[in-house]
């Protein structure tokens, strides 16, 4: 069975349209970043996040309303608490988040104890017969300001360092211009995903950073397979112009690109659909990442190489240089 055989799609010819689409997406992402900003999770800002199950054992007790919980926390000194119901409508599980806006009013290591005390005082009926530590608290995270700030620095550093290392590797294996354009394509992928998170207001957690780095790894993988083919084709088709050779290579690798993207996409999709609440945003980032990463590998990275070599009149030189390498 073959999905795509001997295709001859003019990817290089379509590049102007692809650039336009990408520019529009990036603009949307940048606007999202400036207008809405990123919703950093408490991993990075410091604060407390607690997930509590307030479903009473007895059916006679009316379920807790979100406003009751908000009021209880407000009157006890946490007016800034964000509260969300987790799961389906009417479920008794809530996520409470208290972020410290700055280092001065940072939460102390007692904040979580205070929250638990407030809940047990305010909703005795709902907690009757249940062990607060074992049955009520599903999870609590408390992050001090020092650790939070460090994590953010480390996350940004991790993304930057991995990009630099990749440029160096591609430079070593191919040409500097290939490395640079691969990174432009990667930055494009990361920016668009981050833009989606900014626009939708979803939290940037540590797991999302991990997803972004995996997308980086995945997308570069795709791009390199194509570059590898270009390098090989340049040796065989010495006489033909660079853009034509690249178009051949894109078509030759298309089948592989589609199959691998497909299998990866379906696994991330199953993670998104069945992987449970905790992994939901992670899987979403991965799904989008596979789509954007595949798109940028096909339409951006190699095409950018063409335009840049043309602009710098180094077309011949680059082709010669590459075809000599192994």
- Among positions 168-187, residues that touch other proteins (CB under 8 A) are 169-170, 173
Residue 144 within binding range of other proteins, rule CB under 8 A: yes
Residue 206 within binding range of other proteins, rule CB under 8 A: yes
CB 135, min distance to other proteins, A: 8
**DSSP string across 36-81:** T--EE-HHHH-EEEEEEE---SSTTSPPPPHHHHHHHHHHTT-TT-
Handedness of CA 60, 120, 101, 195 (dihedral sign): negative
Residue 252 within binding range of other proteins, rule CB under 8 A: yes
CB 21, min distance to other proteins, A: 25
Q: Which residues of 198-226 are buried (b: 16+ CB within 10 A; e: fewer)?
A: beeebbbbebbbebbbbbbebbbebbbeb
Across 171-263, where does the E strand assignment appear? 203-204
Residue 151 within binding range of other proteins, rule CB under 8 A: yes
Residue 286 within binding range of other proteins, rule CB under 8 A: yes
Residue 87 within binding range of other proteins, rule CB under 8 A: no
26-85 positions binding other proteins, by CB under 8 A: 51
CB 122, min distance to other proteins, A: 18
β-strand pairing of 93-99 with 39-40: unpaired
3-class secondary-structure state, position 16: helix
CA distance 111 to 95: 15
Candidates 55, 114, 207, 244; binder of other proteins (CB under 8 A) is 207
Beta carbon nearer to other proteins, 43 or 243? 43
Candidates 7, 84, 263, 317; binder of other proteins (CB under 8 A) is 263
Which residues contact residue 29 at a Cβ distance below 8 angstroms, ignoring those fewer than 6 apart? 191, 192, 194, 195, 196, 198, 199
CB 24, min distance to other proteins, A: 28
Beta carbon nearer to other proteins, 36 or 256? 256
Binding mask 119-138 for other proteins (x = CB under 8 A): ------------x-xx--xx
Residue 260 within binding range of other proteins, rule CB under 8 A: yes
CB 14, min distance to other proteins, A: 23
89-118 positions binding other proteins, by CB under 8 A: 109, 112-113
Give the closest residue to 47 by CA, choosing from 195, 205, 154, 202.
205
């Amino acid at each position: 069975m073959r999905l795509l055989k001997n295709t001859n799609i003019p990817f290089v010819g379509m590049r102007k349209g692809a650039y336009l689409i990408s520019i529009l997406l990036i603009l949307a992402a940048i606007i999202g970043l400036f207008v809405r900003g990123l919703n950093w999770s408490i991993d990075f800002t410091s604060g407390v996040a607690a997930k509590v199950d307030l479903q009473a054992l007895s059916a006679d007790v009316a379920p807790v309303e979100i406003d009751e919980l908000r009021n209880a926390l407000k009157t006890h000194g946490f007016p800034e608490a964000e509260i969300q119901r987790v799961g389906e409508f009417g479920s008794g599980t809530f996520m409470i988040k208290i972020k410290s806006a700055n280092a001065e009013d940072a939460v102390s290591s007692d904040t979580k104890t205070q929250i638990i005390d407030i809940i047990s005082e305010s909703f005795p009926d709902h907690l009757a017969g249940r062990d607060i530590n074992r049955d009520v608290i599903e999870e609590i995270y408390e992050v001090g300001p020092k650790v939070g700030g460090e994590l953010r620095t480390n996350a940004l550093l991790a993304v930057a360092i991995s990009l630099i290392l990749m440029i160096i590797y591609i430079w070593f294996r191919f040409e500097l211009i290939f490395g640079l354009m691969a990174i432009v394509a990667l930055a494009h992928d990361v920016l668009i995903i981050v833009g989606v998170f900014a626009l939708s207001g979803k939290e940037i957690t540590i797991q999302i950073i991990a997803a972004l780095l995996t997308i980086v790894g995945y997308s570069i993988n795709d791009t390199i397979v194509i570059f590898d083919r270009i390098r090989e084709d340049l040796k065989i088709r010495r006489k033909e112009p660079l853009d034509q050779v690249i178009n051949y290579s894109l078509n030759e690798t298309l089948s592989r690109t589609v199959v691998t993207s497909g299998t990866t996409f379906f696994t991330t999709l199953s993670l998104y659909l069945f992987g449970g609440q905790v992994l939901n945003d992670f899987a979403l980032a991965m799904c989008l990442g596979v789509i954007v990463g595949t798109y940028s590998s096909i339409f951006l990275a190699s095409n950018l190489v063409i335009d840049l070599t043309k602009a710098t009149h180094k077309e011949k030189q680059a082709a010669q240089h590459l075809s000599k390498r192994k």
